Amino acid sequence: MILVNQNNTLIYKEKIYRCSLGINGLNESKIEGDKSTPIGIFSLGNLYVRTDRIKDLKTHFKYLSISKKMAWSDEPNNKDYNKLININYDHKESFYRTDDIYNLILVINYNIEPITPHKGSAIFIHIAKNNYCSTQGCIGLSQVDFIEILLTLKPSDKIKIFKDKNFIQNT
């Protein structure tokens, strides 16, 4: 299990990693656009990779190569809300970005089954921006750390995101 806490700390296999979280912290009652990371225990979804930038990734996940037409719907009134979509236009959640944060995207299965409009969408683990700047609600890791975790992480593993002031001492 991956453990994530409000102190921008992620623990996997007893190793501590720095991570970035939503600019508005952790939230038990997440809604679309609140820029917070949801609290809870979640399964992991698909892994998407910019295979033009990351070669020969070693992982237990079957992954999909990111194309220019891939995006994630964050529009609550769309029938494909909180799902992968194909696009032919500039989209806020386009997977094919000029920066590196979506070189690796692992979907966190938040608000997936069932999907509830306005409850929040596009919750991923992805590459952190420089200096681990806050995200819009995702979890950001350095590319090196993310690739290290993907070596042993399994699709059946889960992620637990929670508030605990004594996080490191209790793990």
Total domains present in the chain:
1
Mean pLDDT of 63-89: 93
Is the peptide bond between 114 and the residue preceding it cis, with omega within 30 degrees of 0? yes
Residue 31 is assigned to a structural domain of this protein: yes
Percentage of the chain beyond pLDDT 70 is: 96
Residue 124 lies in a domain: yes
Pairing of strands 63-65, 70-72: unpaired
Residue at 168 is within a domain: no
Q: How confident is the model at residue 167 (pLDDT cuts 50, 70, 90)?
A: low
Q: What is the mean pLDDT of residues 36-44?
A: 98
pLDDT value for 59 = 97
Q: Is residue 170, in this structure, part of any structural domain at all?
A: no
pTM flag (> 0.75)? yes
Query: Residue 117 belongs to what domain range?
Result: 2-162
Structural domain includes residue 167 = no
Between CA 143 and CA 38 the distance in angstroms is 22
Is the pLDDT at 82 greater than 90? The verdict is yes
Q: Which residues contact 1 (CB under 8 A, 6 or more apart)?
A: 157, 158, 159, 160
Give the CATH number of the domain where residue 97 resides: 2.40.440.10
Residue 132: strand, helix, or coil: helix
| Structural domain includes residue 27 | yes
